[in-house]
Structure 1
Amino acid sequence: MELLAKNQGLFLALYRFVVGLLFACHGAATLFNVLGGPQGQAPGFGQWPGWWAAVIELVGGIFVLLGLGTRTAAIVCSGTMAYAYFVVHQPQALFPIQNGGEQAALFCWSFLIIAVFGPGRWALATLLPSRTLEYDSGR
């Protein structure tokens, strides 16, 4: 347990990195038909809400992955997934296992955790000499 406590920052960074990477992959798959393509039909340019959600997934995922503007990006990503869950999935059935909303629910809560705890020391924001980033870097 001492090993876990000593490396808590590293584990938080790995968690942030993986969640951001997976989210960015969803956005890239939808926008550029890569990595197995979009789930379902690809939305047209500017189409609401699919295209905009994919842009948020790609850009927000990259920001979270890198640790730049992490809290803001994580809140936007979490809100996007909450919208996806409650507007797209929840009307079909009550529970995520029934309505296909497991990914949306997991991403929503994952990004909320990242927003609360911040990016930690292992973020690019810690390398930038800006006072506005001190809050975001979790120092």
Structure 2
Amino acid sequence: MILKHQDCKRDKSVNPFIGILLFLISIVLMALTGPLGLVYGFLRQLFTQGFKGVGEFALELAISIDQLGNVLMQHLFNTLWITKTGYKFGNRDETISSALGKNKQLGTLTGFGRAIDKILDFIDPNHSLNSIDYHIEP
């Protein structure tokens, strides 16, 4: 079986009302089922894998939230953190730190972007460069 490559951005136009409806449904479902899934997930990991399992689950959640932040904040970050020729934030499969690191490599961070990167470097040396995911397609 041959799998066809699918780009992260859609080529066909999407009805804006469908996008808004699906967004609202996802928010309601997350609000209703998220807390149960979170508690169950932490307890399951604790009892099956111990504290290490809890840490791994927490890291998976952190990465997913970071990817959401990259999409949610893309327009603000693209305006404030990078120059016009920079690598754009907003890929749903990429973390904020990965996109920040790519811009650091390219030299396309603004002063504000460099300040954010320095704060992250203070907390975790070379954080953005170490976070670059080279398997993400733009």
TM-score tier after normalising by the smaller chain length: 0.3 to 0.5
| Structure possessing the higher radius of gyration over alpha carbons | 2
TM, length-normalised to structure 1:
0.35
Structure with the bigger percentage of helix: 1
Tell me the TM-score normalized by structure 2. Answer: 0.35
Q: Which has the higher contact order (CA 8 A, sep 6+)?
A: 1
